[in-house]
Structure 1
Amino acid sequence: MKPLDRFISQMVESARLAQTQDASAATALIQKALAESGLLPQGGLPQAPMAPAAPFVDLNQAPGWRAGTSRRHGRGAVHAPHPSRHRANADAQAPGRFVGGSFSCAAGARRYKLYIPARPAQGPRPLVVMLHGCTQNPDDFATGTAMNALAEEHGCLVLYPEQDKGANHNGCWNWFEPAHQGRERGEPAILAGMTRQVIGEHGGDPARVYAAGLSAGGAMAAILGADYPELYAAVGIHSGLPAGSAKDMMSGLKAMREPGKGRKLRQGVPAIVFHGDADHLVNPGNGEAVLAQFLRAQGAELQQHTEAHDHAGRRCTRHTWRDSAGRSVVEHWQLHGAGHAWSGGNPAGSHTDAAGPSASAEMLRFFLSHHG
């Protein structure tokens, strides 16, 4: 049995054990699977009581800022960087303010970080909502994507919502649960409400609001684009999955391995998709499935263009669909040889690939060509 197939089968079995209230056996199996896959030291984690329902299993390695100093050395080891590498607004190219806040509504509450450019606003500012992946937080994601420095150049606000560990102990957005896949409910309602609040309080431009994310954050960005087309003018999905591609934890794991089509969208928003063709955590076919989902929803005849690029030794193929005015409406960046990481990212952040192309720069370029 292949390692990924074995890992998934162990996760499915752990979910069954948890549902039968055999918490200790489920915990032991999860730790065994994570240890065998190299995502956990062989000694495992301290035992802790499990909830009756199994939580979604994070497939990303813990980033260095969470690893502590006692992790093992050798292959698969995670070494903690100096704490200053992950402090808020560590990027010297981003001289603006990086402030904390919170939002609450009937669906729940979440904290966030917001980047406010240093340069004076010349009018309402564009707003980019950045959704981190599993095990990440706003500071780490801002560091890894370097989006704040780009936002400073273009005068954009950047909002980094933070998943609550009480909602998902691995910090994953719950894209795989029906309760968080619909309009005005669950996490999409929280994120949309938070977006509106930041627009109102910080001079955001309601016509230039965008959402992007990595992995679980990419899957949630797809949901926001699907359910709030009047709020988000465009979305960026990096190493994510289509909206509605799962209905629970087990089908979520299956979708990560065997891509589905996702649900039909009522209205299409412009979308830019990045995915590495060597991604062993989220099958690269999911990038194509996201692409197909948003293309089907465009409702207009588009002209396709294909270009090959080489960025710092990383080959990639860019597929572009343009409208009658020549504007790029949907883009798909296939990253050849790339794994599950933010393309062109800063290695000081977790889950990044410095080889490029810069997903942040390309997404921002794409975003700012669209408005609601």
Structure 2
Amino acid sequence: MSKRRFAGAVGAWLALELLGCGGPSSSEEAPPVGEVTSTLTQVTSFGSNPGNLRMWKHVPASMPANAPLVVAMHGCTQTANAYTNTGWNALAEQLKFYVLYPEQVSANNQNTCFNWFEPGDTARGQGEALSIKQMVDKMMADHSIDGRRVFVTGLSAGAAMTHVMAAAYPDVFAGGAVMAGIPYKCATSMVQGFSCMSPGSDKTPAQWASLVRGAYSGYSGPYPKMSLWHGTSDYTVKNSNQNEGMEQWTAVHGIDQTPDLSDTVAGYPHKVYRDSAGNSLVETYDLTGMGHGTAIDPATKFPGTNVACGTAGAYVLDTNICSTWHVARFFGLDNSDTVAPSVSLTSPANGASVSGSVKLTASATDNVGVTQVEFLIDGAPVGTDTTSPYEYTWNSASAANGTHTLVARATDAAGNSTTSSTVSVTVSGGVSDTTAPTVALTSPTSGATLSGAVPLTATASDNIGVSRVDFLVDGAVVGQGTLLGGTYTLTWDSTSASTGSHTVRARATDASGNSALSALVTVTVDQGSARFSETFSNNGPDNTGWSLTEWTLDASDQMGSASGKSILGSAVPAFSTVTRTASVTVKLAASPRLSYWRKLDLYGANTTASVSFQVVVNDGADRVVDSVTKGLGGVTESAWTQRANLDLSAYANKTVTLKFIVTAKDLSSTVSRAKAWVDGITVGP
């Protein structure tokens, strides 16, 4: 294929800055084709090689069958041989895994940077990404490799390519480790690449995840676990890229962005994000004070050896933490521990009545060793013990009288964790809580006509805490609300109700059993009334006719059912104007009215910037029916807001295009943004 080159001194310098090396540095000359270096052997034939890369490998002595494989990619101005300074070969000799080193050539990029921002090199089945996949295929053809244990890591441009390989080939890689990298598809051009490096690109987790899922359309299997490392003093690739990468991969795995473990390793902040089963799927290391490079520690010897963790050099930095060893453990290459601990809460007993100081005790065992046991009350961590017997003293006098749930969670050194069975206790002598919650039904509104799936929403508060909110139709509970963004929501199937008048209200209950009812709302159910209803309850549009090319489905923030989605539009300009539109074709009846729910995040940087959200009806000409525009300043809606009964009678009995539009214009900076979430759309009389 034709490869992009950067010609001239200025072009070379720009490419070097862009692709993640920060300035000129001497690079090692690659050996002649087919030659063996002190540690690597070149493989000269490994497929069609559309990316025109070189392939090097390290094969330790006395390899067992079904051994793992690590793919390690160098940064700009480096070579494959230079990147062996990170210690991967030395560790491979001890733990018995293969190491593959793709290598860029100056014919593709003057500074030997992998072309992480070129669409032709970052898509599945194309360019450099396909060449690297073909190298993996060659290794598996020539050696006995366990296809379930293939991993990828890299520095800088190689780290960006690590994101690429994990996204484009999730069926190949079980894990990735990113050293000062940039999220997948942050850039698809050189100009965008500059912005991604600094100040970075701010997208929602759902937007980042959508880019990954789009790399292999139709794929439904597991995605690689990811370890993300970044220096806080990295002035080449801004370390905010690590947080964006965390958001990308946690969202891909369907887990939230709140760490399940926050600790320090070798003095550096470390966070772990786990799924509901306790599997560590994403982790981050914030390397305080470190610049641009891969972290090593020559003073650290790999376990059971006198072999040092790496050799310091250009962009291989002695920072007193051995990233190679910690990543190998995260990948499970050390073979020391893949078994989760067992844990049980031994006191108090399930169903016990407690008061005053209550000692919580747990027993925990592990095949290697338990590192800590956390105690959680009503789902919130309250204490940790690192030595057996595992104990925590809970002052139940500070809790509300009533029922509370207790669990213990054990973690081992490899990050495996297990949560105990739940124990329920009843507190007496605690906070005397005779104050009932307050609750307000926020949807539907009085007099509304309903059909199909109807979002019921309420807000509630209490002096101690709300334990649940139930929704009642005609006095009977139809379901318990889910707390989303400060609002309790439930999607009610109104087809279960007869045509005619019905009452709706919400009931809030606290831990002491105090409860309160909202005001009664009278509505009319008429399945023939609504011409259009959209709640995205099927993890996508419920209706045909949608165009969501410029918006994305967002499962992380929705107004209705927790199993559904909303749609999210985001416009972030950089000295330009950006407009994002979602649209759907709707056949209107007589006297139509539009209702929908929204959340806005509009921010304008200065007097030359403006951001807006609009709802437009197009029946031959665009006509704005709802709009929020902001220049200097911002508009942030932290909770869902309903816009109800907007008059569309001017378009009665017409087929129209309903558009939701976010626009951001900023001609002097890159910090403005316009974001909008939309859900619960209905059009009816």
Q: Which runs of 5+ in 2 are unaligned?
A: 30-35, 214-221, 298-309, 339-685
**Structure 2 residue 310 is matched with structure 1 residue 349:** no
Aligned counterpart, 1:239: 180
Aligned counterpart, 1:135: 77
Once the 2 structures are TM-superposed, how far is the Cα of residue 31 of structure 1 from its aligned partner? Answer: 7.8
Aligned counterpart, 1:198: 139
Distance in 2, matches of 1:149 and 1:192, equals 24
CA offsets 1:70-113 (integer angstroms, 9 cap, x no match): xxxxxxxxxxxxxxxxx944xxxxxxx63111334162432222
RMSD over aligned CA atoms reads 2.9
| Identity across matched positions, percent | 30
Aligned counterpart, 2:244: 289
**Structure 2 residue 192 is matched with structure 1 residue 251:** yes
Aligned counterpart, 1:332: 284
Closer/same/farther in 2, CA of residues 367 and 289 from structure 1, 3 Å limit? same
CA offsets 1:238-259 (integer angstroms, 9 cap, x no match): 1000010001111111110022
1:1-372 pair list within 5 angstroms: 27=8, 29=10, 59-66=21-28, 88-89=37-38, 98-102=40-44, 103-105=46-48, 107-118=50-61, 120-143=62-85, 145-260=86-201, 261=203, 262=208, 264=210, 265-266=212-213, 268-300=223-255, 304-309=259-264, 311=266, 315-344=267-296, 346-368=310-332
Q: Which range moves more in the overlay, 287-296 or 99-108? A: 99-108
CA offsets 1:222-272 (integer angstroms, 9 cap, x no match): 011011111001111110000100011111111100222456222632100
Distance in 2, matches of 1:215 and 1:117, equals 27
Closer/same/farther in 2, CA of residues 223 and 56 from structure 1, 3 Å limit? same
Which has more strand, going by share of residues? 2
Distance in 2, matches of 1:344 and 1:364, equals 13
Counterpart residue type for residue 368 of structure 1: G
Counterpart residue type for residue 194 of structure 2: L
Closer/same/farther in 2, CA of residues 29 and 206 from structure 1, 3 Å limit? closer
Closer/same/farther in 2, CA of residues 297 and 310 from structure 1, 3 Å limit? closer
Distance in 2, matches of 1:308 and 1:328, equals 14
Greater RCO between the two (CA within 8 Å, min separation 6)? 1
Tell me the TM-score normalized by structure 2: 0.41
Tell me the TM-score normalized by structure 1: 0.73
Counterpart residue type for residue 360 of structure 1: T
Which has more helix, going by share of residues? 1
Distance in 1, matches of 2:98 and 2:13, equals 43
CA offsets 1:133-177 (integer angstroms, 9 cap, x no match): 00000110012x111111111101000111121111110000011
CA offsets 1:336-360 (integer angstroms, 9 cap, x no match): 1111011116444321211132111
Distance in 2, matches of 1:225 and 1:58, equals 19
Q: Which runs of 5+ in 1 are unaligned?
A: 1-17, 40-54, 68-86, 90-96
Closer/same/farther in 2, CA of residues 33 and 271 from structure 1, 3 Å limit? closer
Larger radius of gyration: 2
Distance in 1, matches of 2:13 and 2:124, equals 38
Asked if the contact 1:322–1:328 (Cα under 8 Å) also holds between the matched residues in 2, the reply is yes
